[in-house]
Structure 1
Amino acid sequence: MAIYLVELSYNVDRTGREPSNPAHVEYLRELTADGVLKLGGPLVGENRGLLLYEAADRSELDGILAAEPYVLAGLVSGTTIREWQPGKGQWAPESAAAGTVR
Structure 2
Amino acid sequence: MIAVILSFSDDPARLELRPGHRERAAELHAQGVLLAGGPFADQSGALLLFSTDDMSVVRAALDADPYYAAPGVQVVTVQPWTIATGAIPGAAS
TM value normalised by structure 2 = 0.78
Is 1:5 aligned to residue 3 of structure 2?
Answer: yes
Given that 1:86 and 1:92 are in contact with CA atoms closer than 8 Å, whether structure 2 keeps it comes out as no
Q: Which has the higher contact order (CA 8 A, sep 6+)?
A: 2
Cα deviation, 1:23-46, whole Å, max 9, x if unaligned, reads 111000100100111111111214
Where do 5+ consecutive residues of structure 1 fail to align? 97-102
Per-residue displacement from partner, 1:64-88 (whole Å, max 9, x unpaired)? 1111231243442232122112243
Give me the whole-angstrom Cα distance separating, in 1, the residues matched to 2:44 and 2:65: 17
Q: How many residues align?
A: 91
Partner-residue secondary structure (3-state), 1:90: coil
Determine if the alignment matches structure 1 residue 24 to structure 2 residue 21. yes
TM-align CA RMSD: 2.3
Q: Is the 8 A contact 2:40 2:46 kept in 1?
A: yes
Letter in 2 for 1:53: F
Rg comparison, structure with higher value: 1
Q: Distance in 2 between matches of 1:34 and 1:92?
A: 16
| TM-score, length-scaled by structure 1 | 0.72
**In 2, are the aligned partners of 1:38 and 1:53 still within 8 Å (CA)?**
yes
Q: Percent identity?
A: 34
Structure 2 portions without partners, runs of 5+: none
The aligned residue for residue 58 of structure 2 is 61
